[in-house]
Structure 1
């Protein structure tokens, strides 16, 4: 009998499993292995501090972000007083799972099938990866950290099927030498309706390799063709392709993360990917941590209402950031004219400073009130067309 079975061994599930075993609980971590999520791989210093990630896990350190408009104009934003770490999910996720196992979690490989409750408490049924036979993991609580379109969520939590999704696709390529269009210490973010009519494309360095991809909520968009166009526009069409990956990414936290009795969702399964930026690793790991906290509280108190602590703790700290990012996406990702204006806005030094301080520290930082006023006025000027899109 396990205290908690964690379904899904990505950053969220591995973090939840490790936190729970370190707090003295008996935990099973179930992962199907072999799947690598399409991900730019950016992690902020805050993540490295909060979750004890050392430099050895990084494949690159980025010091500049380049925002590229539909007409090809760009603004380079320096990352002051730090860097953005880059990880490759094919290595990072196994590292996190291994750390959870070394802490004391029991590890199983296979596919989640269903949850049964023959005696009132949950039994997770999974199909063993090796034998293909169904096996049982009896427990007191279940954490579903099995990604967007979570099988645990769809089976157990109300409205889990109503989360809006962006479909992301990327290709990991062999990195070229540094050129005018590719820099191994710079992330490129491409706001161009020809690449993505409602999100963005990216070129993120991964040391010896690079992630080139895009996302869209529209099913009419051919993700592979769009990525091919992005590679050509970025001068990367002749680079060797190492692997290709695609998956849905949720862009809105669910209103409810638990089923009111014994199941709690975490990470992508709960919808905690940042709007506008699509950043997910940090929020997934925070989601795993608050899920572990809520489960530990529930096991200690016997009150199933304590499962709600996970969402309360997460939203208390991050709700405002998510709200601001969602507003920005709704305002600027509508069409190329708006995207052009967004890149123009990024020239503002105050915008740059506040944006990256918020990214690095995961908080909406306070600044000189005049700077906030200036940003607000310039934002309205761009949205209403009072200034030209190419105005700097």
Structure 2
């Protein structure tokens, strides 16, 4: 392949490279969707970022017989994240039950006027929302990618040299153990988050980012008992002008946080407000960790260029309204990795931009474009004012709304609709917005806006 005919470039794993070049590969059997094929790997891929997106991509690539390197600067670090994952992800990504901190079966959503709705009353006996810690989940997914054959490089990627021709390699410059190194590869998957270096290297364009701020608070035993299987969402201008605040239970603590796009400079003020709203419930708690991180608000203008593809946060795959990103990160990584395996015929042929667009980007957009657009509209309607938030909470009390929401969230499929109930919901929505226009003004007046 082109990656091995380049003018000599220092390889970070020199002895390993020589072994690859000199040894005779034993054919390995890789099970693809269409058939079982005996392959010998030639294509070389790098995945930048070792979160759910990068690890899932690396696992798919390595399982498909492609020589795979995954770069992660800080394997022990954890991204600030609510940590909720849908039920379908457990089976789809074979997530073992011991990774789950809490199985949430109760969810409350609290309006600006403190109207509280139990948002989990339609959950079936076997349904729950899994709460995980990102450091635990990410580590598990990375280790599994390594078990499938990916090579983990603990390093900071500093620069990416673009190829001189369609088949010449990308050169990755990175620092590992205070030493400058380089690696030549045929294809790159950027899974390095909202501030993606990979995206910058291919001029993928900018996007709007929110900032998420979260405190992990260890509670006294009696307080923790209250949050044993309960998650809370708080909406209101005090907690966030355009998103929501949350209290999510973990193994021995709760994650209390908020996020915003339009007023990032005031994030600590909003965090103070959410703490104040839950003050009696977390009294006596001790802050054990403070975290902040940018979160993309929409997909990047460019997600594929040349032989480079972006996945997860680097691509902008975080949903509006709910802020969900873990499942879509892992899903996009796997779809991209599997697409490269198909297009390269298990690593035996070079791929191009057209292959990435056909096998990854088009399939992703066909499956999820409408979901992201729909949630974008919902956020604009319900999160723009306290009036809209009051209407949102009121609607969340409707059993049909809850069932539709949980079917869509837990299983990532279009819930079976009832035309009569849809029409009733539309009327209820209009009525809620009218009524909440009054409630919203009263709340804002009381707050001194």
- What's the TM-score once normalised by structure 2's chain length? 0.82
Tell me the residue number matched to 1:208.
252
- Per the TM alignment, residue 320 of structure 1 is displaced from its structure 2 partner at its CA by 2.0
Deviations 1:197-256, CA, capped at 9 Å, x for gaps: 111100000021111000000245422332233123212253111111111101212343
Is 1:226 matched up with 2:290? no
Q: Distance in 2 between matches of 1:379 and 1:180?
A: 35
Tell me the residue number matched to 2:218.
174
The alignment's C-alpha RMSD in Å is 2.0
Deviations 1:61-101, CA, capped at 9 Å, x for gaps: 00011100011111012233400011001211111111111
Q: Distance in 2 between matches of 1:215 and 1:318?
A: 23
Contact (CA 8 Å) 1:298, 1:304: kept in 2 or not? no
Is 1:363 matched up with 2:413? yes
Report the CA distance shift for 1:370/1:140 in structure 2 as closer, same or farther (over 3 A). Answer: same
Tell me the residue number matched to 2:384.
334
Report the CA distance shift for 1:180/1:125 in structure 2 as closer, same or farther (over 3 A). Answer: closer
Is 1:150 matched up with 2:196? yes
- Per the TM alignment, residue 57 of structure 1 is displaced from its structure 2 partner at its CA by 0.8
Tell me the residue number matched to 1:22.
63
Tell me the residue number matched to 1:77.
119
Runs of 4+ in 1 over 6 A off after TM superposition: none
Deviations 1:303-359, CA, capped at 9 Å, x for gaps: 430111322212212222212211110001111111111101111111011011110
Q: Distance in 2 between matches of 1:165 and 1:316?
A: 24
Matches within 5 A, 1:33-44: 33=74, 34-44=76-86
Unpaired runs of 5+ residues, structure 2, are: 4-42, 441-449
1:124 counterpart SS class: strand
- Per the TM alignment, residue 386 of structure 1 is displaced from its structure 2 partner at its CA by 8.3
The structure having more radius of gyration, on CA atoms, is 2
Unpaired runs of 5+ residues, structure 1, are: none
Tell me the residue number matched to 2:401.
351
**Which deviates further from its counterpart, 299-308 or 43-52?**
299-308
Q: Distance in 1 between matches of 2:326 and 2:192?
A: 14
- What's the TM-score once normalised by structure 1's chain length? 0.93
Tell me the residue number matched to 1:51.
93
Matches within 5 A, 1:1-392: 3-33=44-74, 34-78=76-120, 79-80=123-124, 81-117=126-162, 120-128=168-176, 130=177, 132-159=178-205, 161=206, 163-179=207-223, 182-235=226-279, 236=282, 238-259=284-305, 261-300=306-345, 302-308=351-357, 309-385=359-435
